[in-house]
Amino acid sequence: MDVKGLLKELRTTVEAARAMPMSSSAVINRQTVLDLIGRLESTLPPDVGRLDEASRHGGSVVGDASKRADEVISNAHAERTRLLSDSEVYQAAQQEAKALLREAEQEAAELRTETDEYVDGKLANLEISLTKTLDAVTRGRARLHGRSHFDQLSESTDEPDGA
């Protein structure tokens, strides 16, 4: 069963609960509700709890790419210095260093883009799930508030006219 179905089942259980006399409270079977909540938790994607981890991992991927780029640049500078004695070799080394630098920068940019897309996708999925849950909570609270409002109205009509 999906999250939406489980939330509907939970709502039905709460709505069908036996009302307490003279109160807006209800008697709900704790085990039934806890079972529904457990099933709801088990249907959530495992990645929901790991978004922070994914975000940290994404940062480390970008950091690793940046370190690799720095290493490539450092190696290119060292190679250029070594080849300075011969101008032809120097020119070739300079071109090679520029090519390596462009390659490293492109690889770092691609890794950064992939990481951002991955994290954004996970956050979008979490946002959708949380929005649906928040909508359900908001509707439930509104329903409860509406019921409390009707209780107050019925109390005011029960008072004698002479009061």
What residues contact residue 90 under an 8 Å CB cut-off, 6+ apart? 80, 83, 84
Q: Are residues 40 and 62 in the same domain?
A: no
Q: How confident is the model at residue 59 (pLDDT cuts 50, 70, 90)?
A: low
- How high is the pLDDT of residue 7? 83
pLDDT at 27: 83
Range of the domain at 60: 50-118
In the predicted structure, residue 39 carries a pLDDT above the cut 60: yes
- Whole-number average pLDDT of the chain: 81
Claim to verify: residue 26 and residue 59 sit in the same structural domain: no
Among 25-34, 70-79, 153-162, the minimum mean pLDDT is found in 153-162
Q: Say if 142 falls within a structural domain.
A: no
Are 56 and 108 in the same domain?
yes
Q: Is residue 54 part of a domain?
A: yes
* Cα–Cα distance for residue pair 120/124, rounded to 1 Å: 6
Judge whether 135 lies within some domain. Answer: no
- Band (121; pLDDT cuts 50, 70, 90): very high
- Give the pLDDT score at 79: 77
Same domain for 15 and 72, yes or no, is no
Report yes or no on 59 lying in a domain: yes
Number of domains, the chain: 2
Same domain, 71 and 18: no
Structural domain contains residue 36? yes
The pLDDT of residue 38: 86
Is residue 159 one of the residues assigned to a domain? no
In this structure, are 113 and 78 located in the same domain?
A: yes
Q: Say if residue 30 is in the same domain as residue 77.
A: no
Q: State the Cα–Cα distance between residues 60 and 90, nearest whole angstrom.
A: 35
162: in domain:
no
